[in-house]
Every structure is written in structure tokens, then in C-alpha cells.
Amino acid sequence: MEYRIQTMQQTPAYIIYLLDVSASMNQLMEAGGEQKRRIDVVTEALASAVRQMVFRSTKGSRIAPRYRIAILAYSRCIGRCEKYR
């Protein structure tokens, strides 16, 4: 589905990020020519996306509320997950 309404204060974008924080996210992967944990790659990408949203929302020293963001994390267990490490 394609949306054509521009994101602005009157019509903010609602964005939900669903993050896997399970033990498998500690596995290494190739990223930018080096080995990084999967969770670190995801964290860097999310931080970059949020910085871009702030940049696009800033006029002078004022940040307009153009985005509504939710970040949800899921894993195999709740609380300390020693059994699965």
C-alpha cells in the first residue's frame, strides 16, 4: 500500500519498530567489511533512522512532532534469560 500524504505536524507518521533481542542476535555477521553482532547492526540502523527523523523535523531550534514512534522488543523469555544463553 502506498501513502501519498506528506508527514508533517498535522499528519504525523506512526512508525512501529519490532526488534528481535533474542540470544541469536548476539551472533556475528559481516557488516561494512567487519564482523559485528546482529543486535549492534540493528541498533546502529535504528539510531540512524531516528536521527534522520529528527533532522527532517527540525526547523531552526524547533523540532516539530512529525513522527510518532514505538519500539517493541521480543525474545524467547521474559526477564533474565540465563537458560537460553
Q: What is the mean pLDDT of residues 33-43?
A: 95
| Per-residue confidence (pLDDT) for residue 83, from 0 to 100 | 55
What's the rounded Cα separation, in Å, for the pair 35 and 46? 18
| Per-residue confidence (pLDDT) for residue 33, from 0 to 100 | 93
For 44-72, write each residue's pLDDT tens digit. Answer: 999 999 999 999 999 999 989 999 999 99
Contacts with 29 (C-beta within 8 Å, 6 or more apart), sequence order:
35, 36, 37, 38, 41
Beta partners for residue 72, in sequence order: 18
Q: Note the pTM of the prediction, 2 decimals.
A: 0.77
Domain residue ranges of the chain, discontinuous segments joined by + = 13-84
7-22 b/e (C-beta count within 10 Å ≥ 16 → b): beeeeeeeeeeeeeeb
| Per-residue confidence (pLDDT) for residue 47, from 0 to 100 | 96
Instruction: Classify residue 58 by its DSSP letter.
Output: E
